Amino acid sequence: MITIEQLQDQSREFIDRAIQYYWSQWGTGQNLAFYRDCIDHSLTSEVDVPKFYVALDGEKFVGMCALLRNDLISRQDLYPWLACLFVDPAYRGQQLGSRLMEHVQREAAARGYRELYLSTTLNDYYERYGWIYAAIGYYSYGGKSKIYKKCLIDSID
């Protein structure tokens, strides 16, 4: 059975494995310290976000996602963000991506947020789950991304 776990509730060994997992999917050769610092500070902070989650099949990491203040995109006025959504290729097609999205939506709603955002270059994935195109955002390196919005009041009951 696949479970979704918040990193804040885990052992140091588990957290270190999770940091490596996040970095292996989203990082570069030079930014492991970025992921370690971001995740480590999310564990001790009194604030409601950021929060990081992993999907587990037994002891194996098979997916991940995060609830962040900003997805490192120009639209600093929008928050919070669903970010770092990833499902291991062997587990795709089993609705794990949608389970991870729903988990973050519930977490954001429980913290009192009425909307959730994400940035993506994918076409026709998030729309299937009720996300609405909202804008274009820009990255510091010059790239751009579509921004989607989800109303949490209508989606979580």
* Predicted TM-score (pTM) above 0.95: no
Per-residue pLDDT reduced to its tens digit, 43-91: 987 888 999 999 999 999 999 999 999 998 999 999 999 999 999 999 9
Average pLDDT of the segment spanning 93-109: 97
Domain range enclosing 150: 2-87+96-155
Percent of the chain whose predicted confidence (pLDDT) is above 70: 97
Closest by Cα among 75, 86, 87 to 146: 75
CB < 8 Å & 24+ apart, contacts of 105-111:
105/150, 105/152, 105/155, 105/156, 106/156, 107/51, 107/53, 107/67, 108/67, 108/80, 108/82, 108/152, 109/152, 109/153, 109/156, 111/48, 111/49, 111/80
CATH number for the domain harbouring residue 141: 3.40.630.30
- Categorize the per-residue pLDDT at 154 as very low, low, confident or very high, splitting at 50, 70 and 90: low
> How many domains does the chain divide into?
1
